[in-house]
Amino acid sequence: MFQDKTLKCKECGEEFVFTAGEQEFYAEKGFQNEPQRCKACRDARKNASRAQREMFTTVCAQCGKEATVPFQPSSDRPVYCSECFSAMRNAQN
């Protein structure tokens, strides 16, 4: 069957283990090639293609603390910090 293999990352040059379980997964999916990059380099490469979200700073309508949100707040709707938002959501359930 499969045995763990030590491979060298083509991005950072570090060695990483291509486990027997990962090899079995690759075989089940029909992948022909072994991974070329370690997990950290694969994750960095994957995240580099994603657009960074613009964050906006506002004041929580309930507790008055500063809050950072991923949308442009408007003056016609209240905005809550994550703690107040979670508390409100849990109270509704």
Q: 34 and 64 share a domain?
A: no
d(CA 44, CA 20): 24
pLDDT at 64: 93
Q: 10 and 44 share a domain?
A: yes
Residue 39, CA atoms < 13 Å, CB-side half-sphere: 5
Per-10-residue mean pLDDT of the chain, 93 residues long, equals 94 96 95 95 86 88 92 90 90 81
Contacts for 64 with CB less than 8 Å, ≥ 6 apart = none
Residue 33 identity (one-letter amino acid): N
pTM, 2 dp: 0.52
Q: 32 and 64 share a domain?
A: no
Domain that holds residue 37: 5-48
The total of other beta-carbon atoms located within 10 Å of residue 18's CB is 17
Number of structural domains (the chain) is 2
Residue 80 identity (one-letter amino acid): Y
